[in-house]
Amino acid sequence: MKLEKLSIVFVLLSLALTACGAQPTPDADGVIGSYTIKGTNPDKSTYEATLDVTAKGEAFDWSWNGGEYKGVGLQQDNIVTVAWGSDACYAVSYITGADGILTGKWTDMAASGIGADVATPADKAKMNGIEGLYNTAGKNPDGSEYGCSLQVTKKAEGVYEWYWFNCGEYTGVGIQNGNLVSVAYGANECSVMAYKFNADSSMNATWTYVGQTDLGIEVVKPK
């Protein structure tokens, strides 16, 4: 996937919108707020944390323990896809269509813009669910276009390796929740978290690292 640095023009435009208070809010369900967390790591060790969620353009800023860990989130339906790790991580949120096409949006850790990605099965007869080979076409946040090949490989129940090639090589990890797939990629230390927003304003998350197949979980409750 061609993910070059954003153009100066786009960055300046984003800053101008912020200054004018014109940035749209992504908060459809009241996700913004402060929470307490009880979680289990993929290795089954446990942890507790606090979480603050704020709007950042069309994305969310995810901040654990007062900024000790930082992530970026994108919401589609009642699932918020969050990527965290190094500054080189990206979050991608896909909706799977009945025709097998994956329609996604993505952003970087700085939430400096929203890109688009559409993955079309190369041969529908060879697909196994979302597993298979795709041709992708997308746009970077600055409007430039790219095209890639994408191989999606099932690694465990609900966990998939995402591998883009023929446009550079990028490896990520995806978690499927029904017709939504949450993906993070960039560096080996990148993690993806799929948060399901509940009617009582709590959230439940599953998460894992790039290269990992076991899942961690979080139970997230508003303060």
Residue-level pLDDT at 29:
58
Q: Is the pLDDT of residue 15 over 60?
A: no
How far CA 178 is from CA of 104, 117, 216, in Å, comes to 15, 19, 18
Residue-level pLDDT at 26:
56
Is the C-alpha dihedral spanning 104, 147, 61, 152 positive or negative? positive
Within a domain: residue 205? yes
Residue 12: pLDDT band (50, 70, 90) is very low
Within a domain: residue 2? no
Within a domain: residue 3? no
Question: Shortest CA distance to 120 belongs to which of 105, 106, 103, 107?
Answer: 103
Residue-level pLDDT at 24:
39
Rounded average pLDDT over 81-100: 96
Rounded average pLDDT over 49-77: 95
Within a domain: residue 186? yes
Q: Is the pLDDT of residue 20 over 70?
A: no
Q: Is the pLDDT of residue 31 over 50?
A: yes
Within a domain: residue 18? yes
**For residue 18, how far is the Cα from the chain centroid?**
23
The string of pLDDT tens digits covering residues 127-174 is 999 999 999 999 999 999 999 999 999 999 999 999 999 999 999 999
Q: Is the pLDDT of residue 91 over 60?
A: yes
- Number of folded domains that form the chain: 1
Residues in the chain: 223
Give the pTM. Answer: 0.86
The neighbour count for residue 66, using CB atoms within 10 Å, is 10
Within a domain: residue 1? no
User: What is the C-alpha separation between 78 and 54, in angstroms, rounded?
Assistant: 17
Rounded average pLDDT over 211-222: 96
How far CA 76 is from CA of 90, 105, 209, in Å, comes to 16, 9, 21
Q: Is the pLDDT of residue 185 over 60?
A: yes
Residue 220: pLDDT band (50, 70, 90) is very high
User: Average model confidence (pLDDT) for the chain?
Assistant: 88
Cβ-contact 32, 61 below 8 angstroms: no
Percent of the chain residues past pLDDT 90, beyond the cut: 82
Q: Specify the residue for token string 């097998």.
A: 100
User: What is the C-alpha separation between 185 and 222, in angstroms, rounded?
Assistant: 29
Within a domain: residue 194? yes
- Domain limits for position 190: 8-222
Residue-level pLDDT at 60:
96
